[in-house]
Structure 1
């Protein structure tokens, strides 16, 4: 009963709080002393925004990225020997895929095997470009990739493999000018591959110099190392570095401690050199998901798998505790409940490690396993990957996810990534802020006009990028809660113009723009610019469950419990393996393309896969919606071709295998 009593008090408290917050923001925007003060930098406003009710399904800040792997042509280029134009077209397509999945960063492998995807004075052109190591591709891929990523407002993290020289162990196959041939004492063979020896100081200096050449010459946003440090163990083989240990071991008596120190030196020195050269560049590593098991070390995780601390000499916990990285992206490539290394066990453990350190935690996700043959049964469940992000919501330390790899995001086997997109990426997200730089000045919207293609906006400002927010109606003040999460965020861009093609004809909106700097500190919102409904007679209709266009069977109950309802009430029903949809009927004026949106109150006890049926031309189409989150706002089902006439256009089906009430509240249909 305590919960019910609190819920009954909530609308009054929320209304009072928002009135106070609106006054605070209005005063800040009106005062000349505050026109250049960032909303996020105001302690009063920070407190205000923190008091807003936010939706975990639409986080304001979240890193969303995918690895684009070049080694062995896993992702890009798709094969060697493509023309420059073909390579560029392929890469643009990968970036467009990232944008379509509402990602905000890409992690691109630019030094896969001691070679380069740029004209490096240290190492040869990569064989994965032309098929021949040292072969000039005819353009500068790194300059091209960074430019194209930034044109789409995607962060570009340059991914370097530090020690791997070749995926074979024959030095004669390397180009004659390769440093590993010119310095044979720098390398060793192990497990059928060639590696630089991490224990040699000159090798460490060389690797750092090669990486820093890219950092200093190109406008990269991040430097990223993967999980390959000392080679993964091969049965029956020992790393041939005994002579190196004798020469450089110094006071170390244990070769394992010495090897870990060699890796630590590389990490610490790279961190220092990167931030000395370019303080805004982020440095991150994606280590193997297990540091140590609790059975070996009480500081370790409740797992029983390979220990990267012992097996590949990667002391990833130390990097966090010492602050040698800006972010860590452990590759937690196991399913929830896996007895050896459960996903939920490791997210909890890593969250504990970064807590209070200032190091951001993002999770390496195994998109390659979802729906793939030969994987555990759990990975054949379309919800597994999405459930990982539901688990992430339990840990505020988790700042986002990176997916391996691009081709698996594109493949979307069993619809696993579509589940992620619908349940977690329905809205854009700003990148997590880094450091403590001052936010840019508040921008100013200079024009907002409705045209045949949507609402055209333009603004002026001093940001590296901008965020565009859209609120239904014409509020007189900017409620801080408009900006507390991403439910009103419709675009991030590096341009100062944007056309909102999703603006419904006949609907009034108010737009706000904020500015962000290179490390993603956000300014206060611009003054709102209202746009009235179309005067051209554009068609848009809302059908509420309480209106004459709604019909449902006797199994559908009526409720007013949730404050997120549309209108006076909403309808609910238990799921059942039978056809008993609630229908929303509309008079469609003419055949054509229509955007269909739905409104429902959300609750953790509601259904995670509610089927919405759209009676589109050519046959019904079904879209599933997770009604546990994302409520109290219009949710876009997509664009559909509808026939003219009066008929049942949208239905809410009870036929779902998941538990929890299915909800029918309101539908909005807009002609495009």
Structure 2
């Protein structure tokens, strides 16, 4: 009907003689019915009403910090078994809070949580720098994270050598001790000098050692670049500037370029080695203030561009990172740096760049003593995520740190999870990889522990969806958000322990970078006493209509591949949807149709209730492309014509029959 409906809107067509116009219209209608319809799942999905409380894709993570044993290990010198038990508990916490990633610090102070040929074992493992912990922590952590289908982002601090300034306390083989010209002391700590090209290459090599040897999903840098300013002290790198900074007009510009080189070169090296690995940085939340730079944010706090020489805006604009996770550790309405001001500013920075924005959240402030009154409000963190919903550029959140997520002071984390993380979420897709083929469910068995599913497929991971009842076809709206998402896994089996009644399951396959396949064919499992729901499309076997009904794919609001249309006549001539109603009772009846200003304002829908037919007039000029409730009716058990669309109406415009959904209530 695309051709006929379009032609009828053209001025020269409406000026034709009525007989010629009728003949042309009939010919066009006939032509439209001969065209093979092309399904438009994207158009249908776009028309679905999604719930912002159950987003389909969202990065949800927490930082697991190892420096000073903040999170893990809880103290140095634990046995291997104790260390591993603690780490598993952190992963289980992430799963319980419906997170899908962890960001784990594996190079906190120029050391390593893996057997590195570049740097010594971390003191935070055994209490002694260089002391072998007796196993490979990084291999263990990656394996355990992936077993729970959590992404593992390896967190590196690039320049910090030690939280003290005594090089003799470093193990004798430490590169910073063997190469004293590589380091400087500042503010009571030791740092690698970012201005020395050899040092930059060494830091990159040390990071790439972990990337090349382990199956990490991401490389993550924190906010420590040049050291944060210390009153009364100057960074002792004037000699290095004299040696390497000749082409720069100021030492500040040179320092920024040193950091930029590290970021740009790491980006290139990571993706050359493993294109699927994401590269992200968590900078200080303020780039520059608008009072200093018109491109800056409406804030008045420390400027990372000037104070620590971190030009985070350029990293985004140049595409040197896959995601940016600014530490917006301030409350809503904070006069110096308001949360809502910075989310809006960062959203504007990433817009159109392809860089994902993930907000660093201050879980450590919620309910903590000494914090502002705003942080004593259990709703503060949750309200941050409500603000996030105003910015489609925000792809998720990372919480600092794991121990604060676990502490759940004043119930702030519980409140956040209950408001925003009621369902699992897929990770945001990155890159342009093709989606895999749809998997095939081979078993769906109800057991004492739940419904046990098995399937075949070629994905790196899989998403499992559950829909109540037995729909006759997979509605694209089932998968538009996470309301039906039960869980994800890297296995090809899954046990749904929360199912009740009769349900239909669908499985999709995901690539390493989270492109999603089409859904599998549905597989039903569960007790016969469960909720019944069925969708009947005009292409289903139970649909019947006379030759007076045409077929069209003109509107993008259609359900499935096409829909049916007819002119009003002074006779019923209904199109009927037959269904098998499993038992007598109350059922909600919904209809789906495309809307158009030229369609009928009072299309009669007929429902065959147990007490006789009831007719509901629907204005099909608006409200299309979504399920619309006709009402709840008492229906008899059996197979019969349950819902019809009549042509008998005095109003003008096509009447449309597309899809019907019947659900027991």
Give the TM-score band, short-chain normalised. Answer: 0.7 to 0.9
Deviations 1:18-37 (A, max 9, x none): xxxxxxxx998xxxxxxxxx
In the aligned structure 1, how far is the partner of 2:294 from the partner of 2:304? 16
In the aligned structure 2, how far is the partner of 1:451 from the partner of 1:416? 37
**1:136-155 residue pairs with structure 2 within 5 A?**
136-155=132-151
Match of 1:509 in 2: 503
Match of 1:529 in 2: 523
Match of 1:75 in 2: 71
Aligned residues of 1:450 and 1:534 also touching (Cα < 8 A):
no
Q: CA deviation at 1:532?
A: 4.2
Aligned residues of 1:367 and 1:408 also touching (Cα < 8 A):
yes
| Structure number, greater radius of gyration | 2
Match of 1:206 in 2: 202
The DSSP-based 3-state class of the residue aligned with 1:368 is helix
1:176 lines up with 2:166 in the alignment: no
Deviations 1:574-623 (A, max 9, x none): xxxxxxxxxxxxxxxxxxxxxxxxxxxxxxxxxxxxxxxxxxxxxxxxxx
1:442 lines up with 2:438 in the alignment: yes
Deviations 1:132-170 (A, max 9, x none): 000000000000000000000000000000000000000
Deviations 1:385-441 (A, max 9, x none): 000000000000000000000000000000000011100000000000010001111
Q: CA deviation at 1:46?
A: 2.3
Deviations 1:192-245 (A, max 9, x none): 000000000000000000000000000000000000000000000000000000
Q: CA deviation at 1:93?
A: 0.4
In the aligned structure 2, how far is the partner of 1:135 from the partner of 1:534? 61
In the aligned structure 1, how far is the partner of 2:207 from the partner of 2:258? 17
In the aligned structure 1, how far is the partner of 2:167 from the partner of 2:191? 11
In the aligned structure 2, how far is the partner of 1:178 from the partner of 1:378? 45
Deviations 1:71-116 (A, max 9, x none): 0000000000001111000000000000000000000000000000
The one of 418, 425, 429 equivalent to 1:422 is 418
Aligned residues of 2:57 and 2:428 also touching (Cα < 8 A):
yes
Q: CA deviation at 1:453?
A: 1.6
Match of 2:229 in 1: 233
**1:182-261 residue pairs with structure 2 within 5 A?**
182-261=178-257
In the aligned structure 2, how far is the partner of 1:166 from the partner of 1:532? 58
**1:356-375 residue pairs with structure 2 within 5 A?**
356-375=352-371
The one of 310, 314, 318 equivalent to 2:310 is 314
The one of 378, 394, 398 equivalent to 1:382 is 378
Gaps of 5+ in 1: 1-25, 29-41, 542-631, 633-667
The one of 44, 49, 55 equivalent to 2:45 is 49
Match of 1:465 in 2: 461
Deviations 1:483-527 (A, max 9, x none): 0000000110111111111111xx211110000010000000000
**1:36-185 residue pairs with structure 2 within 5 A?**
44-185=40-181
In the aligned structure 1, how far is the partner of 2:374 from the partner of 2:528? 49
Match of 2:281 in 1: 285
Deviations 1:631-654 (A, max 9, x none): x9xxxxxxxxxxxxxxxxxxxxxx
The one of 270, 274, 277 equivalent to 1:274 is 270
The DSSP-based 3-state class of the residue aligned with 1:276 is helix
Match of 2:639 in 1: none
The DSSP-based 3-state class of the residue aligned with 1:195 is strand
Match of 2:624 in 1: none
How has the CA–CA distance of structure 1 residues 355 and 187 changed in structure 2, closer, same or farther, with 3 Å as cutoff? same
In the aligned structure 2, how far is the partner of 1:61 from the partner of 1:513? 16
The DSSP-based 3-state class of the residue aligned with 1:49 is helix
1:391 lines up with 2:405 in the alignment: no
Match of 1:610 in 2: none
1:263 lines up with 2:259 in the alignment: yes
In the aligned structure 2, how far is the partner of 1:501 from the partner of 1:115? 42
Mean Cα deviation higher: 446-455 or 53-62: 446-455
Match of 2:616 in 1: none
How has the CA–CA distance of structure 1 residues 27 and 87 changed in structure 2, closer, same or farther, with 3 Å as cutoff? farther
Q: CA deviation at 1:47?
A: 2.6
Aligned residues of 2:451 and 2:526 also touching (Cα < 8 A):
no
Q: CA deviation at 1:455?
A: 1.1
Q: CA deviation at 1:452?
A: 1.6
TM-score with structure 1 length normalisation? Answer: 0.73
1:519 lines up with 2:513 in the alignment: yes
Aligned residues of 1:331 and 1:363 also touching (Cα < 8 A):
yes
In the aligned structure 1, how far is the partner of 2:442 from the partner of 2:37? 21
In the aligned structure 2, how far is the partner of 1:532 from the partner of 1:102? 25
The DSSP-based 3-state class of the residue aligned with 1:310 is helix
In the aligned structure 2, how far is the partner of 1:356 from the partner of 1:502? 40
In the aligned structure 2, how far is the partner of 1:45 from the partner of 1:334? 41
Aligned residues of 1:186 and 1:200 also touching (Cα < 8 A):
yes
Match of 1:548 in 2: none
Deviations 1:648-668 (A, max 9, x none): xxxxxxxxxxxxxxxxxxxx9
In the aligned structure 2, how far is the partner of 1:80 from the partner of 1:282? 30
In the aligned structure 2, how far is the partner of 1:320 from the partner of 1:455? 45
Match of 2:572 in 1: none
